[in-house]
Amino acid sequence: MRPRLAGFQQSHKREATDFEFYVLWNAPWRADNPSAAVTERARRFVNLVQR
């Protein structure tokens, strides 16, 4: 995960959000344009993290 986060930070010049973290973990090839299914799961993940 560290290489994925480092690559994201280099290309986007910022830390990944919880949403982006989920996408990087589960669909790194779709990090900038996640599918509808990945987007829905990432939103549920963010809701759990924020509790």
Rounded distance, CA 8 to CA 2, Å?
A: 10
Number of domains in the chain: 1
pLDDT at residue 24 in the model = 97
pTM assigned to the model? 0.90
pLDDT at residue 25 in the model = 96
pLDDT at residue 47 in the model = 97
DSSP secondary structure code for residue 11 in this structure = H
Instruction: Count CB neighbours of 21 within 10 A.
Output: 19
% residues pLDDT > 90 (the chain): 96
Domain of 28, in residue numbers: 2-50
pLDDT at residue 4 in the model = 96
DSSP secondary structure code for residue 34 in this structure = -
Q: Which of 51, 34, 37 is nearest to 21 (CA)?
A: 34
pLDDT at residue 27 in the model = 94
What the block records as the tokens of 24 is 């990087």
